[in-house]
Copies of this chain bind each other. A is one copy, B any other.
């Protein structure tokens, strides 16, 4: 089991290890101070636990400090659609903070540590730090772009293309936040998660994954997936890959 920070070891924003990554833009001291003030604490949760629940009016929003999660929606009869994944540096629960009650749920894929923010203070942020407010909008807009691409995938790509797209997408994102501890990185998801992300059945997902594995693009092993040939996956997905943009970390 990988060692995750615990809530005992509180991480001050100024010393947040994520900020050292080159994907994240430099923040001014004043901005950092404000965010430090905005942060109410840390929350550790276990694999499989629920972070946010659809229909509930959440008072908090979170930034992932460590671990993986996924956002999803359910149909009344239980069919599940996974909308996106969250990993270190990602903001969770913004929708609820704006609109009121959550329109989706979030569940941990691994043990996680979350920075906790209070919805109430979001207004302060908008009033006193236009730059950060702009960042929040930027983040919402990025999520939208991701969803656009997902929709394109599920709507118009074949099963092989979809799967290649999803795995290369997640792999690229993970790489950008330095999740290279084990090389190659192990993505902690089951084939059922992939099926529910791509709108496929579990059985067909399994057969599709096998094709990719036979081509040497990935390896599936207990507890998740490893990417062996990112360029091969990108080609199989007909996708040009993630653009390298510097982004904000709130």
> Contacts A98-B137, A133-B137, A245-B99 hold; do A81 and B156 have CB atoms under 8 A apart?
yes
CB <8 Å contact, A151 and B83? yes
Does A127 sit at the interface, judged by CB under 8 A?
Answer: yes
Does A138 sit at the interface, judged by CB under 8 A?
Answer: yes
Stoichiometry (number of copies): 2
- Residues from chain B with Cβ under 8 Å of A136 in the complex: 137
How many Å from the CB of A107 to the closest CB on chain B?
Answer: 15
Does A199 sit at the interface, judged by CB under 8 A?
Answer: yes
CB <8 Å contact, A99 and B130? no
Chain A binding surface SS class: helix
| Cβ-defined partner of A147 (8 Å) among B126, B151, B238 | B151
Does A95 sit at the interface, judged by CB under 8 A?
Answer: yes
Does A104 sit at the interface, judged by CB under 8 A?
Answer: yes
CB <8 Å contact, B149 and A147? no
Kindly supply a per-residue 1/0 record for chain A positions 99-111, scoring 1 wherever the CB is within 8 Å of any chain B CB and 0 otherwise.
Answer: 1100110000000
8 residue pairs from A and B, CB less than 8 Å apart: A95-B144, A99-B138, A103-B145, A103-B149, A126-B130, A136-B137, A144-B147, A151-B154
| Cβ-defined partner of A77 (8 Å) among B140, B145, B147, B238 | B238
Contact residues of A between 39 and 88, Cβ < 8 Å to B: 71, 73, 75-77, 79-81, 83
- Residues from chain B with Cβ under 8 Å of A73 in the complex: 148-149, 152
CB <8 Å contact, A98 and B141? yes
Q: How far is the CA of A130 from the CA of B123 in the complex (A)?
A: 8
Q: Which 8 A-B pairs have the closest CB atoms?
A: A155-B199, A147-B147, A126-B130, A140-B140, A81-B152, A79-B156, A81-B155, A137-B137
CB <8 Å contact, B75 and A152? yes
Q: How far is the CA of A131 from the CA of B148 in the complex (A)?
A: 27
Does A163 sit at the interface, judged by CB under 8 A?
Answer: no
Does A205 sit at the interface, judged by CB under 8 A?
Answer: no
CB <8 Å contact, B140 and A144? yes
| Cβ-defined partner of A155 (8 Å) among B100, B103, B126, B154 | B154
Does A92 sit at the interface, judged by CB under 8 A?
Answer: no
- Residues from chain B with Cβ under 8 Å of A94 in the complex: 141
Does A119 sit at the interface, judged by CB under 8 A?
Answer: no
Interface centre among A95, A133, A134, A152 (most CB of B within 10 A): A152
CB <8 Å contact, A150 and B152? no
- Residues from chain B with Cβ under 8 Å of A77 in the complex: 238
